[in-house]
A and B are shown apart, each in its own frame.
Chain A
Amino acid sequence: MRQPGQVIVITSGKGGVGKTTACANIATALSLLGHRVAMVDADIGLRNLDVVMGLENRIVYDVVDVVEGFCRVRQALIKDKRFEGLYLLPAAQTRDKSAVSPLQMKSVCDELRTDFDFVLVDCPAGIEQGFRNAVAGADRAIIITTPEVASVRDADRIIGLLEADGMAEPQLVLNRIRQQMVRRGDMMDTDDVIEILAIDLLGVVPEDEGIIVSTNRGEPAVTLPGSRAGLAFRNIARRIRGEVVPFMSLEENNGLLARLSRMVRLSSG
Chain B
Amino acid sequence: MSRRVRPPECDRPALLVRGTVRSGRQVRHNGDVVVLGDVNPGGQIVAAGDVAVMGTLRGTVHAGATGDHSAVVAAFRLCPTQLRIASYVSRPPEDPGGHPEYPELALVRDGVVVVQPLTSGTLTRSGPDETLPDRGGGQRKPLIGKQ
Contacts and interface: CB of A to CB of B under 8 A. Distances in A.
A167 interface: no
A196 B58 contact: yes
B40 interface: yes
B24 A196 contact: no
Contacts of A149: 41
Contacts of A163: 22
A112 B23 CA distance: 33
Nearest to A127: B24
B87 interface: no
Contacts of A159: 22
A49 B22 CA distance: 30
A154 interface: yes
A210 B55 CA distance: 41
Contacts of A154: 23
Interface string A140-162: 00000000010001101101110
Interface in A86-122: none
At the interface, is chain A mostly helix, strand, loop or mixed? helix
A154 B40 CA distance: 11
Nearest to A154: B23
A198 interface: yes
Question: How large, as a class, is the contact surface on chain A?
Answer: 10 to 19
B24 A161 contact: yes
Contact of A157 (B20, B22, B58): B22
Contacts of B58: 196
B145 interface: no
Nearest to B56: A195
B92 interface: no
Contacts of A153: 23, 41-42
Interface in A181-209: 196, 198
Interface string A114-143: 000000000000010000000000000000
Contacts of A198: 20, 38
A132 to B, nearest CB: 15
A263 B58 CA distance: 37
A236 to B, nearest CB: 24
Given A156-B23, A198-B20, 6 more contacts: A153-B23, A156-B40, A160-B22, A160-B25, A161-B24, A198-B38
Interface of A: 127, 149, 153-154, 156-157, 159-161, 163, 196, 198
21 contacts: A127-B24, A153-B23, A153-B41, A153-B42, A154-B23, A156-B23, A156-B24, A156-B40, A157-B23, A157-B24, A157-B42, A159-B22, A160-B23, A160-B25, A161-B24, A163-B22, A196-B38, A196-B40, A196-B41, A196-B58, A198-B38
